[in-house]
């Protein structure tokens, strides 16, 4: 999936919901972001991560195409940190070792996939929606 993202043009993140806007990198209860009755995709990202930036417009399109999905983005970087902030409280709390990193919760708020498995599911949804070829 990363190879596919690297081939795509970089775009802005406008229109994507950042669930921790203004408090990037701070710990939070991820489960509190889960939307009942919809599949919730939590995407951990860093603004210093080129693949994350390339993925942002694709996730926006996926959220628009799939009304059964709630996509929540979490910035792992604390303000003022250059590069990917692996030491942020949010990254440490969730043991984030690579970004983008996904968690998927089903409509009953149960965690169903994380990491590579969740990324593969997101990639499948992007293909099904015709966003990735």
19-41 pLDDT, tens digit each? 998 899 999 999 999 999 999 99
**For residue range 50-88, what is the model confidence (pLDDT) as tens digits?**
999 999 999 999 999 988 999 999 999 999 999 999 999
pLDDT at 1 over 70: no
pLDDT, residue 15, reads 29
Tell which phi-psi region holds residue 56, choosing left (phi > 0), alpha (psi between -120 and 50) or beta: alpha
- pLDDT tier at 12, thresholds 50, 70, 90: very low
Asked whether residue 83 is domain-assigned, the answer is yes
Q: Is residue 5 included in any domain, yes or no?
A: no
Q: Across all residues in the chain, what is the average pLDDT?
A: 88
Q: What is the pLDDT of residue 99?
A: 98
Residue 3: Cβ-neighbour burial (10 angstroms; 0-12, 13-18, 19+): exposed
The number of domains in the chain is: 1
CATH number, domain containing residue 111: 3.40.30.10
The whole-angstrom separation of Cα 115 and Cα 61 is 21
CA 41 to chain centre: 7
Nearest-angstrom CA–CA distance, 13 and 52: 10
Query: CA torsion 76→81→84→85, rounded to 10°?
Result: -50
Query: Is the predicted pLDDT of residue 10 greater than 50, yes or no?
Result: no
The answer to whether residue 60 sits within a structural domain is yes
Residue 111 located in a structural domain: yes
Determine the structural domain holding residue 56 and report its residue range. 16-27+35-128
């Amino acid at each position: 999936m990363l190879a596919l993202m690297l081939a795509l043009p970089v775009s802005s993140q406008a229109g994507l919901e950042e669930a921790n806007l203004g408090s990037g990198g701070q710990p939070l209860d991820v489960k509190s972001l889960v939307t009942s009755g919809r599949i919730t995709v939590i995407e951990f990202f860093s603004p210093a991560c080129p693949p994350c930036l390339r993925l942002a417009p694709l996730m926006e399109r996926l959220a628009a195409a799939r009304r059964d999905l709630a996509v929540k983005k979490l910035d792992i970087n604390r303000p003022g940190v250059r590069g990917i902030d692996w030491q942020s409280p949010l990254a440490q709390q969730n043991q984030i070792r690579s970004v983008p990193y996904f968690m998927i919760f089903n409509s009953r708020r149960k965690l169903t996939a994380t990491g590579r498995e969740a990324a593969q599911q997101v990639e499948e949804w992007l293909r099904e929606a015709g966003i990735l070829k």
